[in-house]
Structure 1
Amino acid sequence: MKKRTLNPLILMFCCCLNVLQAQTQDTLVLDLEQAEHLLLKNNLSLLAQQLSIDIAEAEVIQAKVWPNPTLTVDEMNLWATDYQKRTGEAQPSLFGSESFGRYRQVSAQIEQVFETAGKRKKRIALAKVSAQKAQAYLEDFLLSLKTEFRKSIYAFRFHEGYTLMLQSQLTSLENIVKAYQKQYDQGNVNKAELIRLQASLLSIKDELIDEQKTLNERNEELVVMLNLPEGTRLSFHPVFQRDYNYQLPFNYTLNYLQEEALKNRPDIVLSNLEVKQTQQELSYEKAMAVPDLALSVGYDRGGNIMRDFIGVGFSIDLPFFDRNKGNIKKAQFAVEQQHYQNQHKLLEVREEVRRKYQNFLKAAQFFDDIDAEYIEGVDKTMEAYTEYFKLQNINIITYMDFLESYIDTKRTILENQQEYLDDLEELKYSTGLEINTPN
């Protein structure tokens, strides 16, 4: 029987397919939109912060509750002595018995406090402001989280891209070192050139190890933020532009961005709510100067000149000594203080937007004279220098100088791509606007 042999090309294809399947199983590949969806769904810190809304709403519910009535049972005797029976006045028996309860005394009173001067409404208003603040805190937290998350992805892609470039140059240099080692063994090149190449090889290896460690740290940070299973390896679709056309993604003026920041930023909303809260607290403290009224209904079985007496009453504090002046004065100062802090916050935000807008403009200017053709030309020149060096058309000094310059250039471009996107995220955070990220 004739044995069938696999075509080598088919065998190679099957091996490659297995490797790709293994990589797909071990690595979670996401684009920016998918990653943010996971962040909003899974991030534990965000889930915990969202519960603050429920807590604040529960406080509003509690603020609406009336004070409980107070029941007082008093003057109850559990037994009567012979002397009390001889000298006391007999009462009607209880529960249909002929004798039970004839010498039992009891009084009872139920009292309800009624808050005056709209204290309850003012307390509800305060709780509602706290609920609004909780919502603003959540929005501020979410804005900060998304900014931090996106910048973490940009950093991840920078280190990933730089690692791939170093690995490529390391492979080329390893081949050159192997070839030079053979030439040195044959006595065709001097040892100084071989040592120079080996030193550069070790330097790239060392830098590559550092980059891989940093990449692992970034991967760990993102896994925690996304609340993914331990050991998940992440990879992201390209976030850096391949045409290097990093220009302004908007036509907004600085003044427009500043005005939008004052309308949209959650911390501005919080500052305004702080002012409102101090005003509500002042109103509440003024109301606290008005005494509350307590109405009561009482029953007395036998301790009054009238049998089974039912009477009504009221009580109220007399504000002779405590008129809550200290707390009112304190609340007035708090209103004034918060007003100054709010004005400071507005000025601070306008200056922050100005600074981040200018930083972003400078980051965009870096790419004015850089395009895809320039980067492609640099890459092709590096490949040509490598071939020239292998053919000994250029000396080692020329080659090593260009290799170092090439690595520095690629790192600088990757760093500035990351810086551009980071500055854009900072500008988005400072204005509260969702400006489209170029891709």
Structure 2
Amino acid sequence: MNLNNCRFFLLLLLPFASFCQENGKLVLSLEEAETIFLRENLQLLAERLEIPKAEAEKLQAKVWPNPSLEIDEVNLWTTAYQKRTGEQLPGLFGSDSFGRFRQISAQISQLFETAGKRRKRMELADVSAEMAQSYLEDFLSSLKTEFRKTVFSFHFHERYSDMLERQLTSLENIVNAYQHQYDAGNVNKAELIRLQASLFSIKDDLIEERKTINKLTKELVVLLNFPDNTPLSFRDVYSTDFKYQLPFNYTLDYLQEQAILNRPDLIYSKLEVKHSQKELALEKARAVPDVEFSVGYDRGGNILQDFIGVGASIDLPFFDRNKGNIKKAERAVEQQNFLNQNKLLEVKEEVRQHYKNVLEAAGFFETINVEYTQDLDTVMNAYTEYFKLQSINIITYMDFLESYIDTKKTILENQQEYLDDLEDLKYSTGIEIENP
């Protein structure tokens, strides 16, 4: 790790005394990693800027239309013919001659919106701001779920590869010993080939695991906004006592109710209905013509000199009464109502599905405990020693080795599956459900 990266970690990890490094890797707990993720993730930082953008739209919706100033009928020169035939005016700025043949008119006008258009735009902007906040919450929930599941997957492959490395080291020692025994003519070649084949198989599995770890490391480094090539490791991710279960005080009905109340994307769907209703109200208001009032000055183009007059203008809704946009907005309201009803049904069924998945995943661990896994490791070590002492034959040893690797992998896979299912349930309900 270069000096810049070291400085980065010193600054980044200063608030967390529990961070440590092992074998050149930065070792984090899930809670520590999530704290960094929520603070440093670039996608999240970018998405949070949508909130001030929505607030700016609310500010813009409050402003009145600008007044309009028009200056007209200014003659920059006067011909001799115009002077002979035209009417002389009083001079300008106290002069007897300047401006006697200069014409000018000016008008200032202000548009006044009718039917509460400004207020309806403000209400529409308020709903848009609520939608931006709801979208951010849904984005955060989705990204957090993705992050946690990536950590779970990383930890599975990390633990599994560690187990493969231990068995690979043990098997390499056995193969080397068997090679010496074969060279001395004490064992047959078939046994040596069988051991070498198992060795190659474990090496191949280990290579694939390391490739997967490299891929997941890349994803986590990006999610955590760490410098590239940051070596990572995680601790305290999987339960050491295998007590995986759903908190049964959370019934399915309760979780579905919480999802309806708290799930951000469902809230967003409801806000889309409200937004379409506000747009419909605005389109109906646009059918009412706005009124523009004006005050004008004319120096010499009127029957009265230095004429000042007021005026008003309004569109006559003979042809365009905004009927097309109103019908379009009405259909949009109906459309959003259907989509919201469909979203509600989807959410309830998602909660039901993930609830059942967690129960199924938790059922795997009903008969698994710490003693079982410890006994499994102990028996594997014993089988290795027995085989070295030739107390058991190669078939018995290889069968148990394969069974041991498959069993350890299955236990790790089910731990990851349970935690993944629990994260899916958290996301589908919109609440944090603690793993007991």
Interval containing the TM-score (normalised by the shorter chain): over 0.9
* Corresponding residue SS for 1:113: strand
Instruction: Provide the rounded CA distance (Å) in 1 between the counterparts of 2:174 and 2:27.
Output: 34
What residue is the counterpart of 2:118 in the other structure?
120
2:365 is matched with 367
Equivalent of residue 248 in structure 1, options 246, 249, 266? 246
The residue correspondences of 1:39-438 to structure 2 (distance < 5 A) are 39-438=37-436
Give per-residue Cα distances to partners, 1:354-382, cap 9 Å, x unaligned: 00100110000000000001111111110
Quote the Cα distance in structure 2 between the aligned partners of 1:196 and 1:347. 56
Cα distance between partner residues in 1 of 2:338 and 2:392: 69
Structure 2 contact 362–418 (Cα < 8 Å) conserved: yes
Q: Deviations over 1:312-368 (max 9, x none)?
A: 000001111111111111111111111111111111110110001001100000000
- Helix, strand or coil: the match of 1:229? coil
Give the AA of the match of 1:379. D
One-letter code aligned to 2:80: D
Is the CA contact (8 Å cut-off) linking 2:30 and 2:236 kept in structure 1?
no
Instruction: Give the secondary structure class of the aligned counterpart of 1:367.
Output: helix
**1:269: how far off?**
0.5
Amino acid at match of 2:152: Y
TM-score (norm 1): 0.93
How far apart, CA to CA, are the structure 2 residues paired with 1:234 and 1:352? 33
After superposition, give the CA deviation of every residue in 1:167-226 in whole Å (9 maximum; x if it has no partner): 100111011111111111111110000010011111111111111111111111100111
Which amino acid in the other structure matches residue 154 of structure 2? F
* Count of residues in Structure 1 that have an aligned counterpart in Structure 2: 417
Q: Distance in 1 between the 2:395 and 2:94 partners?
A: 120
Kept in 2, the 8 Å contact 1:157–1:238? The answer is no
Amino acid at match of 2:335: Q
Letter in 2 for 1:344: N
Letter in 1 for 2:242: Y
| Distance (Å, rounded) in 2 between the aligned partners of 1:85 and 1:78 | 14
Deviations along 1:106-165, one digit per CA (max 9) or x if unpaired, are 011111000000000001111111111111110000000100000000011100100110
Q: Which runs of 5+ in 1 are unaligned?
A: 1-21
Structure 2: how far apart are the matches of 1:380 and 1:25?
A: 26
Once superposed, what is the RMSD of the aligned Cα atoms?
1.2
User: What displacement does 1:24 show?
Assistant: 4.7
**Contact 1:349 1:430 (C-alpha < 8 Å) held by counterparts:** yes
Provide closer, same or farther for how the CA distance between residues 314 and 276 of structure 1 changes in structure 2, counting only shifts above 3 A. same
1:258-303 per-position Cα deviation (integer Å, ceiling 9, x unaligned): 0100000001101100110111111111111100000000000001
Residues in 1 aligned to 2:236 and 2:155: alpha-carbon distance in whole angstroms: 8
Q: Is the 8 A contact 2:244 2:435 kept in 1?
A: no
Q: Is the 8 A contact 2:41 2:225 kept in 1?
A: yes
Cα shift at 1:85: 1.3
Q: Per the alignment, in what secondary structure is the counterpart of residue 366 of structure 2?
A: coil
Residue 157 of structure 2 aligns to a residue whose secondary structure is: helix
User: Using the alignment, how far apart are the partners of 2:70 and 2:23 within structure 1?
Assistant: 72
Moved more, 226-235 or 293-302: 226-235
Q: 86-95 vs 37-46, which deviates more? A: 86-95
Contact 2:350-2:428 at 8 Å conserved across structures: yes
Contact 1:26 1:232 in 2 (8 A): no
Q: In the alignment, residue 50 of structure 1 is paired with which amino acid?
A: R
Give the superposition deviation at 1:70: 1.0
TM-score, normalised to structure 2, is 0.94
Distance 1:249 1:407 in 2: 31
